[in-house]
Amino acid sequence: MVEADPAGGHQGERVSLRATDPARPMHGDPDLHAPPAPGPQASRRLAPRDARRARLALAPALAIALSGWVDARTASAQPAPWPQRPLRFIVPFAPGGPLDVSARLIAQPLGAELQQPVLVDNRPGAGGSTGAALAARAAPDGHTLLMGALSTHAVNPFLYPDVGYDAERDFAPVTLVARVPNVLVVHPSLRIDSVAQLVALARAKPGQLAYGSGGGGSGGHLAGALLAQRARAELVHVPYKGAAPAMADLVAGRVPFMFDNLASALPQVKAGRVAALAVTSPARSRFLPEVPTMAEAGQPGFDITTWFGVFVPAGVPAPRVARLHSLVAGILVQPGVRERMAGFGSDTEPLGPQAFAAFVRAERERYRTLVRDTGAKAD
């Protein structure tokens, strides 16, 4: 055994022995069990070794802590599962109309794909603005859908002083569902069979001839306002909370005529309960090929086509919007769904989100001008 030299002569050898064989027993020499005497030279030699041992001792704990931190950061970066609960599909018009029927055709297969129910929620009022405002305030998590339309996104913002939402900033377009021409239909009691005869009757009875519509801001409302402007006639607008109740009153004879979307008017026309005078699209409808366009009936440039599509609140993550578009577009091209839609005069047209957004912007500018020029007002 190497003896310790109080003067430090053998101190280096003693330290070397302890470093190379730390497990070797060292009985009988208290100096070998004691820590080195303090001093500058000992501190300089032992500090690196002690620091290394401390680092080695802390390494496992540090690794565990770092692993947990990385796991937490990774977990927080992962999107939450979607959907986590049933989806709400707001229809801003009364049950029975084309938006309602279309939403219900989409809801069942969409729910099956997402493995969550899709519940249709009818919220009529203010030409669709009531339901649209409700959807705009919903959480942007992909659990609320809106079946928006021409009225909610292209007309109402210029017709009402405050609709309760911004039609462009508060929504993310998902897909166009369908474009549907409007058709001018009259009650048989009027005993007229042309647009020219209706114009003559309106001029002969200023302020006495009323027309119904699916609501303020609907395509039917704007079509009536445009006809009144062109005919220089005073017509009375009677808005309803959806196309279905408006058509019910027309069939019952409570209102003499209306511009209705072909989707809800077609069954009544085919049944002979109302008479179709003209369609408002640039070309004749394949569903009523014998009925002329408004241009053919003496009203050139008369083009008011109703459309509707799916929107979500702005801020819904883009992958969820893309997923919804993919699923809804897939549903709309299914033969059974296309056949049902065609049964009430609708051709499905599932535009993608960007194309749909561009379409809505163009419609908004067109109807801004139309509302201004016709002087149409919310009733």
What digits encode the pLDDT tens for the residues 293-336? 999 999 999 999 889 999 999 999 999 999 999 999 999 999 99
Give the CATH number of the domain where residue 279 resides: 3.40.190.150
Stretch 147-159: mean pLDDT, rounded? Answer: 95
Q: Identify the CA nearest to 322 among candidates 354, 284, 298, 358.
A: 354
pLDDT at 97 (0 to 100): 83
Which pLDDT band holds residue 56 (cuts at 50, 70, 90)?
Answer: low
Same domain, 73 and 169: no
pLDDT band at 362 (very low <50, low <70, confident <90, very high): very high
Separation of alpha carbons 225 and 107, rounded Å: 34
Given pLDDT bands bounded at 50, 70 and 90, which one contains residue 27?
very low
Are 182 and 214 members of one domain? yes
Instruction: Provide the domain count of the chain.
Output: 2
Is position 1 within any domain? no
pLDDT tens per residue, range 297-307: 999 999 998 89
How confident is residue 345, by pLDDT bands cut at 50, 70 and 90? confident
- Range with the poorest average pLDDT among 63-77, 149-163, 270-284, 285-299: 63-77
Which structural domain range is residue 42 located in? Answer: 11-77
Say yes or no: 58 and 118 in one domain. no
Q: In this structure, what token pair is assigned to residue 306?
A: 């109703």
d(CA 162, CA 156): 9
377 and 256 within one domain: yes
Averaged pLDDT, 71-83? 64
| Co-location of 44 and 132 in the same domain | no
Query: Are residues 69 and 177 both part of a single domain?
Result: no
Which pLDDT does position 51 carry in this prediction? Answer: 56
User: Within this chain, do residues 22 and 127 fall inside the same structural domain, yes or no?
Assistant: no
Q: Decide if 228 is inside a domain.
A: yes
**Mean pLDDT on 50-65:** 58
pLDDT at 61: 58
Residue 3 lies inside a defined structural domain of this protein: no
pLDDT confidence band for 13 (50 / 70 / 90): very low
- pLDDT of 10 over the 50 cut: no
Number of helical (H) and strand (E) elements in the chain, helices listed first: 14, 10
Reduce the secondary structure of 94-148 to three states and give it as a string: CCCCHHHHHHHHHHHHHHHHHCCCEEEEECCCHHHHHHHHHHHCCCCCCCEEEEE
Q: Under a CB-based contact definition with an 8 Å cutoff, are residues 186 and 349 in contact?
A: no
Would you give the DSSP letter of residue 350? -
pLDDT at residue 52 in the model: 60
When the pLDDT of each residue in the chain is averaged and rounded to a whole number, the result is: 84
In a domain, 325, yes or no: yes
Is 301 a domain residue? yes
Assigned domain for 267 exists? yes
Q: How far is CA 358 from CA 158, 188, 355, in A?
A: 19, 41, 5
114 and 231 in contact (C-beta within 8 Å)? no
Residues 49 and 131 in one domain: no
Q: Is there a domain that residue 56 lies in?
A: yes
Residue 224 shares a structural domain with residue 250: yes
Question: Does 267 lie in the same domain as 210?
Answer: yes
The last residue of a domain, from among 20, 42, 77: 77
Q: Which two tokens stand for residue 88?
A: 């709400």
What pLDDT is recorded for position 336? Answer: 93
Of 49-53, 67-71, 135-139, 267-271, the least confident:
67-71
Q: Is residue 144 part of a domain?
A: yes
- Residue 124 and residue 101 in one domain: yes
Last-in-domain residue among 77, 112, 133: 77
178 and 291 in one domain?
Answer: yes
* Domain C-terminal end among 55, 77, 99: 77
